[in-house]
A and B are shown apart, each in its own frame.
Chain A
Amino acid sequence: MITPFALHQPRSLPDALALLSEHDGETKILAGGSELLLLLKMGLIKASHIIDIKKIPGLDRVGYDPQAGTIHIGPLVTHRTLEKSEIVGRHFPLLAEMERDLANVRIRNVGTLAGNLCFAEPHADPAAVLAVYDAVVTLQSSERERRVAIKDFFMDYYETALEKNEMLTDIDIPKLPDNFRGSYLRFCPGEWPMVTVALLTRWADGACAEARLGLGCVGPRPIRVGEFEQALRGKSGDELAAKADKLAGIAAQSSDPLADLWGSVEYKRQIVKNLVRDGLRSQCDGRG
């Protein structure tokens, strides 16, 4: 049962931020609410104040800046909007692909990408994709505004860099050059994904010029596997395909999954390895 709380429905961002600073005790931001309501109903968290930001205009925009080559995603943008967005589909295909598979359509209709990030639920889809895109989030309070790289935003299970009086107001993703190719792989035997893999590669003159590998759900935070990314540089597609299994092993070793009902640590690492290997092989296909 949800205990009573004071509801605030500010009409501007400064008002919302002021409310965040003003109230001591458990104060929560309400956007879509799917994660918030689940935790409130289960009694895992309590809220004395809830700040509903849905009456603030302009927070639901997806804006693409072609000069800067970045997309700005507001805190009220739902998963469904991103899934269906023409801009996202064209310029950030990996993001669109991830959003299509996320949870179910009811949750996507209501849940926001920003909300998903702020709860830092370890078994979630977006983290690995945002990690390979080198996304940057804007955190605002009444006092200041700061930009935080996604790798520094996630800190631990259910823990982010958000201070108590801060709100995530923007997710900005730089567009990658068109010669990047991406694969999003996930294994989801139950309701929430067990392993997510986001792989991007760029090829030039028959060799891999750059690689980015993001792993989600297999540790307290999403991981970029630098060692793997380095190992791909300069190698031909055939060489990489032949060594895919070994290379994927590097990714598996970097992961730090927890055992649960769905599998042991070794199994989850095996899944990381197999998905990364499969992703790498498909990226190498037809790239000499």
Chain B
Amino acid sequence: MSEELVSIRFYVNSEQHETQVKAHDLMIDFLRERLGLTGTKRSCDMEVCGTCTVLLDGKAVSSCSLFAFELDGKNLTTIEGLEGPDGLHPLQKAFIRCGGFQCGFCTPGMILLAKSLLAENPDPTREEICAYMDANICRCTGYQMIVESILHAAKEMQAANR
């Protein structure tokens, strides 16, 4: 079986890319190895843990279980895309301030998942946060400080929007 190439054109963190990938290349490997975006991490490799979470057209997806060619025509956000010219995203600041990370390995995926939550529900309750964020696993924090980080970021983001 020859390894045919697929042409793809897409945005990553607002930067346009046009390239070719092998059909069977996985998105996570493409991001880490071809684009050098090593912020996205691999852990369980079976869509259970969410460590590999990226935002594809704003939706939280598992990059370990998507082909790279699925990027075609899409807008991808990785953790590298959150810090802007004005500094860290409120979620990033909140995670630092409120202890939302420890070893940090689940953190990129966790922050992106939280970003997608707040995009849909800017003022979530603790229960809503737990129900949504249940998608991703953290082995270090015990979760409560992640919830508090998200609540803090939500408040900051709402205040900024007024």
Contacts and interface: CB of A to CB of B under 8 A. Distances in A.
Q: B22, B26, B61, B113 — which one has the most chain A CB atoms within 10 A of its CB?
A: B61
A109 interface: yes
Interface in A1-47: 2-7, 30, 33-34, 37-38, 41
Given A5-B1, A6-B4, A109-B61, A104 B50 contact: yes
Given A37-B66, A105-B60, A106-B50, A7 B4 contact: yes
A3 B3 CA distance: 9
B82 interface: no
Interface residues of A, number: 23
Interface in B114-134: 116, 132, 134
B95 to A, nearest CB: 19
A38 B48 CA distance: 11
A7 B61 contact: no
Contact of A106 (B1, B3, B26, B53): B53
A23 B21 CA distance: 23
A2 B69 CA distance: 14
Contacts of B22: 4
A109 B132 CA distance: 12
Q: A30, A105, A191 — which one has the most chain B CB atoms within 10 A of its CB?
A: A105
A67 B65 CA distance: 40
Instruction: Report whether over half of chain A's contact residues are helix, strand or loop; otherwise say mixed.
Output: mixed
A4 B66 contact: no
A34 B48 CA distance: 11
Interface residues of B, number: 30
Interface in B45-85: 45-48, 50, 53, 59-62, 65-67, 69-70
A59 interface: no
B6 interface: yes
B135 interface: yes
A26 to B, nearest CB: 11
Interface of B: 1-4, 6, 22-24, 26, 45-48, 50, 53, 59-62, 65-67, 69-70, 113, 116, 132, 134-136
7 smallest A-B Cβ distances: which pairs?
A104-B135, A7-B23, A109-B59, A37-B65, A2-B24, A4-B1, A4-B3
15 contacts: A2-B26, A3-B24, A4-B1, A7-B4, A34-B65, A37-B66, A37-B67, A38-B47, A38-B65, A106-B50, A106-B135, A110-B59, A110-B62, A110-B65, A110-B66
